[in-house]
A and B are shown apart, each in its own frame.
Chain A
């Protein structure tokens, strides 16, 4: 029985080659559009999130419970976590972590001054967590935590009219609310995606910063990087449980709620996009099946008259639809792979979108074709396609043989 259903379905599809080919192309283009556009959108948003997470926050951060509400120098924590927290931080789910001193400060050159955030970092661990070590364009990054050289952004050197090797003065507060200041020499200049980063952040060694501020052994945050920005739930819970109630532990989605929300919206938008494409597709699919059935009402009547059960007629129409959807989807997937593959090295948008950097977007777009998106696109098209084809299939199975047989 199954053999005759498939044989009839397949041969009926090719009764009208042109119509079937048009429908196959339509499904293929629909699937391609779903996968290709999603790959572009995913590439753009994921790159933005990765860049943003790489800037400073990492995937999870640990702070003093009051630090985020009041980023005062006294709301600090131990530089070196111990016990269970240290075990979790050195566990397999965590790629890297880095302790930082982080205070507000004023930086002054001989000509200008600006408010900045001073970060005291251990270069050995910081290079695994944030972008700065890999973005040095002049001089070099810090050698160790005792290094009291200063790393500034390119834009800040322009604003302060200073440069590599020059001295600047940094002024901040110690834990007793007394003003502290000292001179530092610029040993490195970094370049970042955004000018705000280049102007807003200054780096020195963690021990040098602690000595300068009078907070030996204390830091303000521990930034942690896991296996991926989407797979942080387990790691976040483990760190939160290990840290206990004396620490504030937050994921990047809460540290940067704009990006966190955007990622959620993006996931929702992908589904909406799939549905829109499918809706356009489904009209063609249903129309094709209705026409194919309309052409052979007599034949369906004959099959019913010969003793074929209505369910078999329904199954045959569904199989026709599945064949169309399957081969259309297969072609669409193949074309999507063939068109995305050559773009893996990135699409340079710099000549079209100079303003992207201002918003934290990269000007190189790397399409990301994920298994999940391909799977979802195919499941949406196949499952909803089958549901859509139920309408003409049920209609065909309900024909009265005697009425269908006299149709011309």
Chain B
């Protein structure tokens, strides 16, 4: 069964008198454990598709199914619940909560899920080590570098062991060394936990890790190519 299924998705945006096509009848199936890169030039529709899959935005028409449940017609609370329990997000611009420390940011999703404090602390300590941030757990985002912040964001996305990780340009603000570490972490999670990864990128380094490249152009899927990862 597909982990993610999009059927005939359409989404347009209106900027004054101008109508911009975000998605133009996009259909895609992504199976559990796949490692997919959505590749497109700016405005090609990759972030729009990612947002639709994550339930962050509603398509004008079409259907989105996650783990066998249709989500495009869900209410706000049900969508929030679905995101909380199924999807981990990694955004381009780190997006940490500035008033929380690194550890609190990592534990945030688990705390909202209602996981007991002792379990949260154990899991956050382990993931901090895994992403190489031990010793920085009590720092707030403003006191961390961009790479460190992105690793906290990644740790937050994966610590609750979601079925799916959606990442939008996760390496855009990272140097090559940090980007490589991040991608190795993604691959390891994908292999060890069978987590499905969908990454929107135009970074060639990221594409090399993918087992499937979906190229988009003007809101449509132009090419869908399986490949041998690095």
Asked whether A307 lies within 8 Å of B83 as measured between CB atoms, the reply is yes
Asked whether A310 lies within 8 Å of B76 as measured between CB atoms, the reply is yes
Partner of A306, one of B89, B99, B104: B89
Complex interface: chain A residues within 8 A of B85 (CB): 307
Asked whether A15 lies within 8 Å of B99 as measured between CB atoms, the reply is yes
Asked whether B56 lies within 8 Å of A405 as measured between CB atoms, the reply is yes
Sample (23) of A-B pairs whose CB atoms are under 8 Å apart: A1-B111, A1-B112, A1-B114, A3-B111, A8-B99, A299-B98, A302-B95, A302-B97, A305-B54, A305-B56, A306-B83, A306-B109, A306-B112, A307-B112, A308-B80, A309-B80, A310-B80, A312-B112, A400-B56, A401-B56, A402-B56, A405-B56, A405-B91
What's the Cα separation between A3 and B111 when bound, in Å? Answer: 9
Complex interface: chain B residues within 8 A of A302 (CB): 91, 95, 97
Residues of B within 8 A of A (CB): 51, 54, 56-57, 76-77, 80-85, 87, 89, 91, 95, 97-100, 104, 108-109, 111-114, 156
Of B51, B56, B57, B77, most A-chain CB atoms within 10 Å:
B56
Asked whether A307 lies within 8 Å of B95 as measured between CB atoms, the reply is no
Q: What is the predominant secondary structure among interface residues of chain A facing chain B? A: helix
Partner of B108, one of A11, A306, A311: A306
Known: A305-B54, A307-B83, A400-B57. A4 touches B108 (CB 8 A): yes
What's the Cα separation between A311 and B77 when bound, in Å? Answer: 8
Chain A interface: which size bin? 20 to 34
What's the Cα separation between A309 and B89 when bound, in Å? Answer: 16
What's the Cα separation between A211 and B191 when bound, in Å? Answer: 117
Asked whether A308 lies within 8 Å of B112 as measured between CB atoms, the reply is yes
Complex interface: chain B residues within 8 A of A7 (CB): 100, 104
Known: A11-B99, A299-B98, A405-B91. A307 touches B111 (CB 8 A): no
Q: How far is the CB of B114 from chain A (nearest CB, A)?
A: 7
Complex interface: chain A residues within 8 A of B100 (CB): 7-8, 11
Q: How far is the CB of B124 from chain A (nearest CB, A)?
A: 14
Complex interface: chain A residues within 8 A of B89 (CB): 305-306
Complex interface: chain A residues within 8 A of B54 (CB): 305
